Amino acid sequence: MMKNYILLNENAIYYECGFSCDNVIYFKLENDAFYITDARYTIEAKEFAKNCSVIESSNLIEDAKIILKKNKIKRLIFDPNDFKLSFYQKLKKNLKTEFIPKENFSKLKRIIKSDEEIKLLKKASKIGKSGFKELANFIKVNGSKQSENFLHFKAIEKLSSFGNYDLSFDPIVAINKNAAKPHALPTNKKLKLNDILLVDAGVKYKRYCSDRTCTSSVDFENFSFKREQIFKKRKYQKIYDIVLKAQLEAISKARSGMKASKVDKIARDYITKAGYGKYFVHSTGHGVGLDIHEFPNINSKSEVIIEDNMVFTIEPGIYLPNEFGVRIEDSVVMENGRAIIL
């Protein structure tokens, strides 16, 4: 049990008290918690931040030092990933407190989602799916000869429901060769009949993220982001079917009690046996929550044991350089020992 710790990360602080902002130091000290921020945020902090004392400050570091000295804190846990060196040096100066580095301690606290968090993640996924449907409707009617840049803009518009929701991340919209880059940037490449189109996007609902990737055949009469896709080019169809089967295998065989590396192995083995292992260049998935990338990591090295109420993506892909790429991604929650698509 961690008695004394400091947080700077916005999502980590939100998880603790239900409110965050871009200029805050948060302490949990024994039985007390302190939310130190400046005058821009104190009204909202006092309204929304739960179970902590809100302190208005014009010098956060100096007031943080006063609290540590007053409470005679000997040891303080912090996540070095969240600290700038300059901040750390200023905070430590003239303090007797020992700072104990503990990487990702907040993310590890959040690895098992509460039932309420899962409801929020399901809602985010539902909104995200609706956004994909709206984008598909646009492409069906107006997508012909539109550039990746413009479709990227439309993805933001449709997924965010015209600005009603924040996006989980900047969407990926990639046609043909560009889809062979897992994190492709949009270009002026224009969409045409029988192309292959990859879209990776998500939205936030009450700060909780969704994440989904669809790869589609461009047929303007019947365009959709559904999992059943019919491609005119045989190679597109072959690769798509391999990736889809690998994804479905990993989802259907994932179990609580299994190592995360085993989930990765299920998808990777299927693609490797099909002859495309070297073209599956990233991990099979990652946790999703307040951050778009959380724990557990679903990769070949992860020793984490999968448990009920973990939420993560399953997203195998095959990327053929200078040809095309296919990725299929869903976020799943472990319920009663099995993976359920959100």
Summarised one tens digit per residue, pLDDT across range 273-293 is 999 999 999 999 999 999 999
- The yes-or-no verdict on residue 1 having pLDDT over 90 is no
Summarised one tens digit per residue, pLDDT across range 208-234 is 999 999 999 999 999 999 999 999 999
Average pLDDT for 80-101? 95
- pLDDT band per the 50, 70, 90 thresholds, residue 31: confident
Query: φ, ψ for residue 138 (rounded to 5)?
Result: -65, -45
User: Are residues 225 and 128 in contact, defined by beta-carbon separation less than 8 angstroms?
Assistant: no
Cβ neighbours around 70 below 10 Å, total:
9
Q: How far apart are CA 7 and CA 168, in angstroms?
A: 22
| pLDDT mean across residues, the chain | 97
Q: How far apart are CA 201 and CA 292, in angstroms?
A: 11
User: Are residues 340 and 113 in contact, defined by beta-carbon separation less than 8 angstroms?
Assistant: no
Judged on CB neighbours under 10 Å (0-12, 13-18, 19+), 108 is middle
- Backbone angle region of 257, left / alpha / beta, with phi > 0 → left and psi within -120 to 50 → alpha: left
Q: How far apart are CA 52 and CA 315, in angstroms?
A: 39
Per-residue pLDDT, 153: 98
- Model-level pTM? 0.95
Domains of the chain: 4-109 (3.40.350.10), 115-341 (3.90.230.10)
Q: Tell me the residue type at 303.
A: E
Cα atoms in the Cβ-side hemisphere of radius 13 Å centred on 76: 26
The CA-based diameter of the chain, rounded to the nearest angstrom, is 71
Q: How far apart are CA 226 and CA 229, in angstroms?
A: 7
Cβ neighbours around 95 below 10 Å, total:
14
User: Are residues 181 and 200 in contact, defined by beta-carbon separation less than 8 angstroms?
Assistant: no
- The yes-or-no verdict on residue 247 having pLDDT over 90 is yes
